[in-house]
């Protein structure tokens, strides 16, 4: 059981792989989930909610494997309030040295109406399901979903039942991001004061960001007595997302004078995991996002630069190094060797084997030929691009001509399962023409859900990072690529997303990748 003996210690429960991944379009592959779980474990997250095992075979496998591999963190799975969900969850998490079953039911009037249960019937269900979970696992978390819109008396009643049935953590979800800081603190404080047995369990806070208050609400809940924060990297999550891990952790660290709580997080790992989650989820981080945004430590205006040069504390309340951002470092160039590249990648948080380094070095040299100076951000873009060589579709060559009227012509040559195929198409601009040519070569009914371009650095020779998200029959795949030529990056990102769709289809069989239980069933 996870006990907080030190009253100042706040447990960090990361749900990037469950609540974050359930965000439409943020689906990660099995390997990506394993990678993110390893990074979370390594950075000192106390509990990793690794998925919702009954939702699909893929979720089950991911949770089981994460449970087998975890070194320090407790591995948790989500289960609705029924025996089948709970049993499946236990089957997946039981492999972990430290495990947890997280079971929940919607307790607000609106959510009670969905299964059409009376208050008494729901109370009975909570008793049965939490007892069942506790018979399997010594660490059980229970959540009254939509707690912040549940009647006070009923909330107290069901929490008492869950504690008596053996729950060890009581999580208070603000499912629709409805609460505000003063109310959030007050709710936890009053629950701890009122509910019999509350002092024997840990209270957790789980906030959504619909009104932009998830971080404030979570920290306020801690002020009210919660000792576990549920959060995701980059605030990933459905709608406006969840509380961002990096924000609560850095807030407690930076303003420890007024928020005197500590976590076990190694904050120097924040930046790397933020980038990896952005890449694998296909959800880029907004430039001015707190802590991990590209501009969070950039001081561009003249006044700020002057102030920074005199004393960095004038404008910086945190040091970039604290979150793993290396200070200003010298760019690499075409004469930089393999050792310098490896060294730089290590400072950026990437550990690469000899074979991987060989491949990256080739791509680095190609880039350095086109671009005089290769900055840290260029290397990060290079590491994030999916340019796998064993894919079904590979870009061989492309030529695009643009006219002043907007019409463009693209000739694309792809290697499709070892055979070269060429197509020429016209379109509304170079990207449209290119995508049409790719579709002519590899006909598909994938729908383009997202197309995004970011300049990695400044200058006209800057690389562009392009993200493409495709959807086909409920299956979603994202692809990313970076190139000094935006149209080439677009083609590669589109091809990469197609390759991922093909891979998923093959792995899962017809239609099997779509979750058997949609997350829509939860909320």
Q: Does 19 bind Zn ion (CB under 5 A)?
A: yes
- Between CA 222 and CA 203 the distance in angstroms is 9
Q: Does 225 bind ligand KIV (CB under 6 A)?
A: no
Burial class from Cβ neighbours inside 10 Å (0-12, 13-18, 19+) for residue 221 reads buried
**How many residues contact ligand KIV, by CB under 6 A?**
9
Q: How far is the CB of 78 from ligand KIV (least distance, A)?
A: 6
- Between CA 145 and CA 142 the distance in angstroms is 9
- Between CA 485 and CA 117 the distance in angstroms is 58
Q: How far is the CB of 496 from Zn ion (least distance, A)?
A: 30
Q: How far is the CB of 336 from ligand KIV (least distance, A)?
A: 46
Write down how long the chain is.
523
In the complex, residue closest to Zn ion by CB: 19
Tell which one of 175, 263, 281, 480 touches ligand KIV (CB under 6 A).
Answer: 175
- Window 301-320: contact mask with ligand KIV (x via CB under 6 A): --------------------
In the complex, residue closest to ligand KIV by CB: 173
- Between CA 8 and CA 94 the distance in angstroms is 30
Side-chain half-sphere exposure of 205, counting CA atoms within 13 A: 37
Q: How far is CA 33 from the centre of its chain?
A: 9
Q: Does 13 bind ligand KIV (CB under 6 A)?
A: no
Name the residue nearer to ligand KIV (CB basis): 100 or 206: 206
Distances (CA, A) of 450 to 471, 476, 480, 483: 10, 11, 11, 18
Tell which one of 10, 145, 158, 292 touches ligand KIV (CB under 6 A).
Answer: 145
Q: How far is the CB of 202 from ligand KIV (least distance, A)?
A: 15
Strand partners, 466: 453, 481
Q: How far is the CB of 236 from ligand KIV (least distance, A)?
A: 13
Tell which one of 93, 277, 341, 522 touches ligand KIV (CB under 6 A).
Answer: 522
235, 199 Cβ separation under 8 angstroms: no
Q: How far is the CB of 522 from Zn ion (least distance, A)?
A: 8
Binding-site partner at residue 51 among Zn ion, ligand KIV, none, CB < 5 to 8 Å by type: none
- Between CA 125 and CA 133 the distance in angstroms is 12
Tell which one of 143, 463, 465, 467 touches ligand KIV (CB under 6 A).
Answer: 143
Q: Does 174 bind Zn ion (CB under 5 A)?
A: no
Q: Does 49 bind Zn ion (CB under 5 A)?
A: no
Tell which one of 104, 283, 350, 435 touches ligand KIV (CB under 6 A).
Answer: 104
Q: How far is the CB of 22 from ligand KIV (least distance, A)?
A: 8
- Between CA 416 and CA 221 the distance in angstroms is 54
Name the residue nearer to ligand KIV (CB basis): 102 or 272: 102
Name the residue nearer to Zn ion (CB basis): 147 or 410: 147
456, 377 Cβ separation under 8 angstroms: yes
Residue 522 neighbours by CB distance under 10 Å: 18
Tell which one of 14, 19, 32, 85 touches ligand KIV (CB under 6 A).
Answer: 19
- Range list of β-strands (E), 319-460: 393-402, 407-416, 419-428, 447-455
Tell which one of 53, 166, 173, 349 touches ligand KIV (CB under 6 A).
Answer: 173
Binding-site partner at residue 145 among Zn ion, ligand KIV, none, CB < 5 to 8 Å by type: ligand KIV
Q: What is the DSSP letter of 418?
A: T
Distances (CA, A) of 282 to 195, 267, 293, 470: 42, 23, 15, 11
Name the residue nearer to ligand KIV (CB basis): 79 or 185: 79
Q: Any idea of the CA torsion for 471, 476, 482, 488, to the nearest 10 degrees?
A: -30
Q: What is the DSSP letter of 314?
A: G
Q: Does 217 bind ligand KIV (CB under 6 A)?
A: no
Q: Any idea of the CA torsion for 380, 269, 329, 285, to the nearest 10 degrees?
A: 50
Name the residue nearer to ligand KIV (CB basis): 51 or 331: 51
Write out the residues near ligand KIV by the rule CB under 6 A. 19, 104, 143, 145, 173, 175, 206, 208, 522
Site residues (vs Zn ion, CB under 5 A): 19
């Amino acid at each position: 059981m996870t006990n907080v003996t030190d009253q100042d210690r706040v447990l960090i429960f990361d749900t990037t792989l469950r609540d974050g991944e359930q965000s439409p379009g943020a689906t990660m592959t099995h390997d990506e989930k394993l990678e993110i779980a390893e990074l979370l474990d390594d950075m000192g997250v106390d509990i990793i909610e690794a998925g919702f095992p009954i939702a699909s075979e893929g979720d089950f496998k991911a949770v089981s494997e994460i449970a087998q591999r975890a070194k320090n963190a407790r591995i948790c799975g989500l289960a609705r309030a029924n025996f089948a969900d709970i049993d499946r969850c236990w089957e997946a998490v039981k492999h972990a040295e430290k495990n947890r079953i997280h079971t929940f039911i919607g307790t607000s009037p609106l959510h009670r109406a969905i299964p059409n249960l009376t208050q008494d019937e729901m109370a009975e269900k909570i008793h049965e399901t939490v007892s069942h979970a506790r018979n399997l696992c010594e660490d059980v978390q229970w959540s009254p979903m939509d707690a912040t819109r549940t009647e006070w008396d009923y909330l107290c009643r069901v929490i008492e039942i869950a504690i008596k049935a053996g729950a060890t953590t009581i999580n208070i979800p603000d499912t629709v991001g409805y609460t505000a800081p003063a109310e959030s603190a007050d709710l936890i404080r009053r629950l701890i004061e009122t509910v019999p047995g509350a002092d024997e369990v840990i209270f957790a806070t789980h906030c959504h960001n619909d009104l932009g208050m998830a971080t404030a609400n979570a920290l306020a809940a801690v002020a009210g007595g919660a000792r576990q924060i549920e959060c995701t990297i980059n605030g990933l999550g459905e709608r406006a997302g969840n509380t961002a891990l990096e924000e609560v952790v850095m807030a407690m660290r930076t303003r420890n004078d007024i928020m005197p709580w500590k976590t076990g997080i190694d904050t120097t790992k924040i930046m790397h995991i933020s980038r990896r989650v952005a890449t694998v989820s296909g959800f880029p981080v907004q430039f001015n996002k707190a802590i991990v945004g590209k501009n969070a430590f950039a001081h561009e205006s003249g006044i700020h630069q002057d102030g920074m040069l005199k004393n960095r504390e004038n404008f910086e309340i945190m040091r970039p190094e604290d979150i793993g951002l290396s200070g200003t470092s010298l760019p690499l160039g075409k004469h930089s060797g393999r050792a310098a590249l490896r060294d730089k990648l290590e400072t950026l948080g990437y550990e690469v084997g000899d074979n991987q380094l060989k491949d990256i070095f080739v791509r680095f040299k190609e880039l350095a030929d086109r671009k005089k100076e290769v900055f840290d951000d260029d290397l990060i873009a290079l590491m994030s691009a999916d340019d796998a060589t064993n894919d079904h579709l590979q870009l061989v060559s492309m030529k695009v001509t643009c006219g002043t009227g907007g019409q463009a012509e693209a000739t694309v040559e792809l290697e499709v399962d070892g055979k070269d195929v060429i197509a020429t198409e016209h379109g509304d601009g170079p990207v449209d023409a290119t995508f049409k040519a790719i579709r002519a070569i590899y006909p598909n009914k994938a729908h383009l859900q997202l197309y995004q371009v970011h300049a990695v650095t400044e200058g006209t020779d800057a690389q562009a990072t392009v993200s493409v998200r495709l959807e086909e029959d409920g299956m979603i795949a994202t692809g990313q690529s970076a190139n000094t030529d935006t149209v080439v990056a677009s083609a590669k990102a589109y091809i990469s997303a197609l390759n991922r769709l093909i891979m998923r289809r093959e792995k899962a069989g017809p239609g099997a990748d779509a979750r058997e239980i949609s997350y829509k069933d939860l909320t």
